[in-house]
Chain A
């Protein structure tokens, strides 16, 4: 089955750290760009970070709010995507989705989404 399954969310204090994982299955993980998208309670979708596949250099990009605090990485041998989140703030509270585009010829149209993992930053 083609799917993405996130884990690692939870409650953390401001200034703390958390590492999210996303296990991929059913498709060729090492051929796709992977992205984290988040959604704060009652709010819209926010693009957080992206990592390209190795054939495209494996480069990473971050939103302004994530840059310097979050690190996206991938382990193609384990078909797993990660998001290391440090110096967390209350405004980072959100559902975090692992997403990808598997439609041939596109890298931005996210046809595959995980179920999401909730991150709550609160004292």
Chain B
């Protein structure tokens, strides 16, 4: 199995700041990694796939990088509406999802 470990567990930042969220895989997943945003009471929303490709309608403030075992989601110039839990997900094997990072603005 491929385990994804996200850090930090919680991140508190102010509007306008930059957020950097990390996702580390227990073994290489190539570039097959996705990021999701989930707000309270809502289904998750796909932000990025294949490590750095933005999904339809996702603002350019959201960017991703990395390959192999280390990945980063960067949110530049935070807005209050970015408060959410962010999950990474790999394609290779169960359990597929990381445990999430809560971002508080």
Give the B-binding residues of A (Cβ under 8 A). 44-47, 63-64, 97, 103, 106-111, 113-116
Please, how many angstroms separate the alpha-carbon atoms of A116 and B90 in the complex?
22
Name which residue of chain B comes closest to A109, CB basis. Answer: B49
User: Quick check: B34 and A44 within 8 Å, CB to CB?
Assistant: no
Please, how many angstroms separate the alpha-carbon atoms of A101 and B45 in the complex?
12
Interface size class of B (residues with CB under 8 A): 20 to 34
User: Quick check: A111 and B55 within 8 Å, CB to CB?
Assistant: yes
Question: With an 8 A cutoff between CB atoms, is B78 at the interface?
Answer: no
Name which residue of chain B comes closest to A108, CB basis. Answer: B91
User: Quick check: B97 and A111 within 8 Å, CB to CB?
Assistant: no
Inter-chain CB contacts under 8 Å: number? 57
Question: With an 8 A cutoff between CB atoms, is B11 at the interface?
Answer: no
User: Quick check: B44 and A113 within 8 Å, CB to CB?
Assistant: yes
Question: With an 8 A cutoff between CB atoms, is B103 at the interface?
Answer: no
Nearest 6 pairs of A and B residues by beta carbon: A109-B49, A108-B91, A113-B43, A47-B96, A109-B34, A45-B97
User: Quick check: B46 and A110 within 8 Å, CB to CB?
Assistant: yes
Name which residue of chain A comes closest to B6, CB basis. Answer: A44
Give the A-binding residues of B (Cβ under 8 A). 32, 34, 36, 38, 43-46, 49-50, 55-56, 85, 87, 89-91, 94-100
Please, how many angstroms separate the alpha-carbon atoms of A14 and B68 in the complex?
42
Please, how many angstroms separate the alpha-carbon atoms of A46 and B44 in the complex?
12
**A contact face: mostly helix, strand, loop, or mixed:** loop
Q: Which of A107, A109, A110 has the most CB of B within 10 A?
A: A109
User: Can you spell out 29 A-B residue pairs with CB atoms less than 8 angstroms apart?
Assistant: A44-B85, A44-B87, A44-B98, A44-B99, A45-B89, A45-B97, A46-B97, A47-B94, A47-B95, A47-B97, A63-B94, A63-B95, A64-B94, A97-B43, A103-B49, A106-B49, A108-B34, A108-B49, A108-B89, A108-B90, A108-B96, A109-B50, A109-B55, A109-B89, A111-B55, A111-B56, A113-B44, A114-B43, A115-B43
- List A contacts of B100 (CB < 8 A): 44-45
**A45 touches which one: B44, B55, B94 (CB < 8 A)?**
B44
User: Quick check: A46 and B95 within 8 Å, CB to CB?
Assistant: yes
